[in-house]
Amino acid sequence: MSERDDVTVGQLLLVEYQTVKDEQKTRIGFRDNLLYVTLTVLAAVIAASAQAKQPAMLLALPPVCVVLGWTYLVNDEKISAIGAYVRDDLGPRLAQLAGAEKVFDWEVAHRADARRRSRKAIQCGIDLLAFCVVPLAGLLVYWVSGRTSPGLVALSAAEALTILGLGAQVVVYAAPFRAPNPSG
């Protein structure tokens, strides 16, 4: 094997960078589409419930929103974790190998925007609205409909607790009120 055929550490790190960025891009597309799927499902269930005049059908909203919301959160966390890995581990190793002060400036620069905190807070509100407020409103409509049964009220109470748990996780994962950390 000649020197020309040897794989360098720098080449491996660049391949790793491309691989994790591809995964990040895929996860971003998937995560963003989950909001559209959620809105579509919400509209379909609400319309079906209204058309059938069956408020109990609204009990389908919480499990759907919890599953989609949790999937959204997990993907969002992985997207952030990939960014942190590139900023804090992979980038510095490549910079050292290249003899450069820093690489992948965009990974840090876009996080330094003065409006980042407000965008994160707004996104947190949107996530809470889509995945938590609407299904809780559906439960409220069911509870005040006068067409309840003890078993479904118990189920809906458990659903409400599950939604509140998801809401807490949405806020924890978003951490919109933390001081911005340029590297994390």
Amino acid identity of residue 98, one-letter, is A
Percent above pLDDT 90 for the chain: 76
Q: Encode pLDDT of 92-121 as tens digits.
A: 999 999 898 888 888 888 888 888 889 999
Mean pLDDT of the chain, nearest integer: 91
Q: How many helices (H) and strands (E) does the chain have?
A: 7, 0
Closest CA to 75 of 32, 118, 41: 32
73, with CB counted inside 10 A (0-12, 13-18, 19+), is buried
Provide mean pLDDT across the span 6-22.
Answer: 92
pLDDT recorded at residue 184? 45
Is it the case that residue 2 has pLDDT exceeding 70? no
Provide mean pLDDT across the span 36-62.
Answer: 97
pTM for the structure as a whole: 0.86
CA distance 30 to 35: 9
115, with CB counted inside 10 A (0-12, 13-18, 19+), is exposed
Q: Domain locations in the chain?
A: 9-174
CA distance 41 to 27: 21
Query: CB-based contacts of 5: which residues, under 8 Å, 6+ apart?
Result: none
Is it the case that residue 5 has pLDDT exceeding 90? no
Name the pLDDT band for 150 (thresholds 50, 70, 90): very high
Residue 75 φ/ψ, nearest 5 degrees = -65, -40
pLDDT recorded at residue 174? 87
Q: CB of 174 within 8 A of CB of 123?
A: yes
Q: CB of 31 within 8 A of CB of 81?
A: no
Q: CB of 58 within 8 A of CB of 141?
A: yes
pLDDT recorded at residue 155? 98
Amino acid identity of residue 32, one-letter, is D
Provide mean pLDDT across the span 74-100.
Answer: 93
